[in-house]
Amino acid sequence: MNKRVLVSSLLVILMSLGIASTVCAQVQTHGFVLFRSIATHDEYSNRIERYGIKFSEKMNDEFDWVTEIYIHPQFGWGAGYMESAYLNWDLSKRVPWNFKIRLGKGRNYAYGQTPDYSRRRTSDYSLYSESFTQQRVLGVQTFSQFGKVQLAVAVINPYNQASRTLPDFALSTSNLNIPICDRDNDNSLVSRLAVSGRLGYANDILNVGADLYVGSPKDGTTGAKTRAGIDAEAKLKNGLLAQVQYTMATTAVFMGGKVDDLDHMGAEALVGYEVGKAGLYARYGMVSYDDKMQALNSTMVSAVYKITPRIHFRLEGLINGEDTDAAKGWNECDNNVLFFETLFAW
């Protein structure tokens, strides 16, 4: 495991040196580090949660590109992660409306309130995001704007399915599995495509949208079939903000010795206040699975102080809850977490 971490780190360093030496006048290089002190009910640890290195270039008025690599030192089996690798093409001067295309891998901006750092507000991903919007997608995304109306349509590899732990950075055994989570699919051999879309309206205060994802797993295989949702975010000039998201989903899963469709849902709401260098946020989210899998909920509270634009201090807590049913083996788990985080970027 240590060898993989070392190789991943050396690869990123060599890439940085190579690119910087040859095209340093055009390519921008940035990075960040997340250091956390984490406490659970009976454990404590300090660790580097992740660090990333990002290269980007604006080639001209039409083209720009981004690549970004994440390193997770605590995961020897998955230390290196290709977070983004895409080309943006602005076609607004070639067609009679504001139209852009993204080719490659990156976050899905064609479903929901995409949980990048500016929109997530909390450092850790929410329960809802881990279930439906955390994954990166590989394919073609298109973005059209008609005044205040937005239309995003993506043709992508269908989502992979896998569970995640709640919380996803638990120190050892203090976690539960989120049973259905949409995951990255970088497999070039996939023989299916999926379509994702968001129709939205945005002004200086409000950003609302209706979302749809449609996929078609092979017969007898598991995978995401449909997701339909709504999302909204409001930001006032006095610093108050609110965000809500809701998704109804159908996924082919393995149950009762066979593959069958499962209807499930998720929702979350966030409120916050931002003033100057400080921000305070509270979020509640839940997922349920038609009483066939254990329903989960999570409350997040986060306070951040941006002492400089590139140094942020944050205190964040997660209070996680679970439906219980002794007959089904559904038990409570003491998986609440508190952490103090330092982010520094360059």
Over residues 220-272, the pLDDT tens digits come to: 899 999 999 999 999 999 999 999 999 999 999 998 889 999 999 999 999 99
The amino acid at 115: P
* Neighbour-count burial of 269, counting CB atoms closer than 10 A to its CB (0-12 exposed, 13-18 middle, 19+ buried): middle
**Distance between CA 218 and CA 342 in Å, rounded?**
44
* Neighbour-count burial of 298, counting CB atoms closer than 10 A to its CB (0-12 exposed, 13-18 middle, 19+ buried): buried
Closest CA to 160 of 138, 183, 186: 183
CA atoms within 13 A on the CB side of 344: 4
**Distance between CA 224 and CA 229 in Å, rounded?**
14
Closest CA to 299 of 264, 334, 337: 337
> Are 266 and 92 in contact, with CB atoms under 8 Å apart?
no
* Structural domains of the chain, with CATH: 2-345 (2.40.160.10)
Instruction: Considering only residues 117 and 115, tell me which one the structure prediction assigns the higher pLDDT.
Output: 115
Over residues 67-99, the pLDDT tens digits come to: 999 998 877 655 789 999 999 999 999 999 999
Closest CA to 241 of 269, 199, 276: 269
Over residues 197-207, the pLDDT tens digits come to: 999 999 999 99
Closest CA to 66 of 106, 11, 18: 106
pTM > 0.85: yes or no: yes
Over residues 139-178, the pLDDT tens digits come to: 999 999 999 999 999 999 999 988 888 777 767 666 778 9
pLDDT band at 295 (very low <50, low <70, confident <90, very high): very high
> Are 187 and 209 in contact, with CB atoms under 8 Å apart?
no
Closest CA to 33 of 8, 70, 76: 70
Over residues 207-223, the pLDDT tens digits come to: 999 999 999 999 889 99
Which residues touch 133 (CB under 8 Å, ≥6 apart)? 108, 111, 112, 113, 114, 115, 182, 245
Mean pLDDT of 313-339: 92
Mean pLDDT of 10-27: 58
The CA-based angle 165-166-168, given to 5 degrees, is 65
Rg over CA atoms, the chain: 21
pLDDT band at 1 (very low <50, low <70, confident <90, very high): very low
pLDDT of residue 173: 62
pLDDT of residue 69: 95
**Distance between CA 198 and CA 154 in Å, rounded?**
9
pLDDT of residue 119: 86
Q: Is the peptide bond before 167 cis (omega within 30 degrees of 0)?
A: yes
pLDDT higher than 90, residue 41? no
DSSP string covering 90-113: E-TTTSSSEEEEEEEEEE--SSSS
**Distance between CA 65 and CA 84 in Å, rounded?**
10
Over residues 330-341, the pLDDT tens digits come to: 988 888 999 999
